[in-house]
Structure 1
C-alpha cells in the first residue's frame, strides 16, 4: 500500500478533491467560453487555463504528498508562477472587454507585482534567502497589486464602468482577503513553525480552490450578463 492514498490521510484527500475540482472547472470554463460574446472569450479562456494548469500541478502535488508526507513546495510555486500572473492579467482583460480606457502600464504593474511576490516567497521557503527577507519581498509585490486594483489606474477604470464594477470589486476582495491566507501560512508555517505541514497544505489547498475557481466563476457571471 506504500505510495497509495490512505483513508486517514485527510491532506492527501484534500489534494485529490482540489485536483478533480480543477479539472471540472476547466471543462466548464472552456465550454461556457463558447457561449459568450467575442469580447469575453479571452477572459473565459484564461479562467480555464488557470484551472487547467492548477489541475496538472495538483496531480503531481498529491502524489508528492502521498509518497513523502512533505510539502510540495517546488510544484506549488511552479503552479503559482503560472496561474497567479494569469489571474492578475484578468483584471486588465475584463476592463478591455467593456471598452475601458486603461494603459498597458497597469498590465505591467500587475504582472511585476505578482512576480516580485512569488519570487520573494519561493526564495524564502526554499531557504535561498532568509525567511524574513523573502516575506518582506513578497509583501512588497502584494502591496503593488493591492494598490493597483484598489487605488491605481485599474481601480479608476473599473469605477467608471458599471458593467464590470461589481465583478471587479468581488475579484479584488478575493485578492485582498482570500490571498491573505498565503502570507499568514508563510508566517505561522515557515517563520514561526507553529503550524504543521499537513494543516498548512490543507489551508493552501482550500485557498487555491476558492481563489482560482471562484475567481473564474465571477468572471463567467459577468461575461454571461454582458453577453445577454
Structure 2
C-alpha cells in the first residue's frame, strides 16, 4: 500500500475517532452521579473506539493475508462503539434497556466475529467456503429468534430455544467440525493458540448472553441495570479481546517470517 493511501486511511480513522469523542462528550453531560450502568456504557464505548484505531493501524502495518482479519476486527469494534453511544443515550435519558440498538449491533458484529474463524485459517492455508457459510448461518439462527423473543414478536421461550440451537451449532463447528479439524492439522502454533482462545471465548464469554436472557426474561429476578452492566462487560471480552487474539496470531506469524 502506498504511503499516501495509508495516510488517507489513518486520517479518516482519526476523523471517525474524533466524531465518536464529540458524541461521547455530549452524552457525558447527561450522566448522573452514581449511574454505574451509564458509566459502564461510557467506558466501554471509549475502549471500543480506541480498539478500532489500534486494529486499523495494525492492519496497515502487518498487511498481507492478515490485513483482512485485522480490518474486520476494526469493523467489529467500530460498529460496536458507534452503537454504544446510542445505547448509552437511551439508558441515561430513559433508564430502560436499549434492546433494539443492542441487537442491531449484534446482528452486524456477531456474524463478523464468526467469519474471523474462517479468515485466520484462510491466512495460513486453503480452507473450504463451507466453514464461512456454516458459521454465518449459525450466527443468524442464534440472533434473529433471540431478538424476536426479547422484542415480543414471538414467545420468549421459543426464541431462547431456537437461539440456543444456533449457538450449539456454532460450538460444534469450531470444536468438532471442519474448522476445528483444519486448525488442528494445518494451523501454525500461533494460529492454534489464537483459535483456541477464540473458541473458548465463544463458549464461556458468549454464555453470559443466554444466561442474562434466561434470568431477565424467562424466570425474572434480574433488574435491567444489572443485566446491562453484565452485557457491557461481556462485550469487552467478546469484541476487544477477541480481536486481540487475532492480532496476536497475525503479529507472531509476520514476526516469524521477518
Give the Cα separation in 2 of the matches to 1:33 and 1:216.
12
TM-score calculated relative to the size of structure 2: 0.86
Counterpart in the other structure of 1:7: 33
Counterpart in the other structure of 2:151: 126
Give the Cα separation in 2 of the matches to 1:37 and 1:15.
32
Alignment of 1:64-103 (within 5 A): 64-99=90-125, 101-103=126-128
Give the Cα separation in 1 of the matches to 2:130 and 2:115.
12
1:142-164 CA deviation, whole Å, 9 max, x = no partner? 01100000000000000012241
- Segments of 5+ residues of structure 2 without an aligned counterpart are 1-28
Deviation at 1:102, TM superposition (A): 2.1
Alignment of 1:1-228 (within 5 A): 4-99=30-125, 101-160=126-185, 161-163=187-189, 164-228=191-255
Give the Cα separation in 2 of the matches to 1:66 and 1:102.
46
Name the Cα RMSD after superposition. 0.9
Larger Rg: 2
Give the Cα separation in 2 of the matches to 1:210 and 1:166.
17
Give the Cα separation in 2 of the matches to 1:165 and 1:117.
26
The answer to which structure, 1 or 2, has the higher relative contact order (CA under 8 A, 6+ apart) is 1
Segment of structure 1 superposing worse, 154-163 or 21-30: 154-163
Q: Which runs of 4+ in 1 moved over 6 A?
A: none
TM-score calculated relative to the size of structure 1: 0.97
SS at match of 2:32: coil
Q: Answer yes or no: is the 8 Å Cα contact 1:121–1:138 preserved in 2.
A: yes
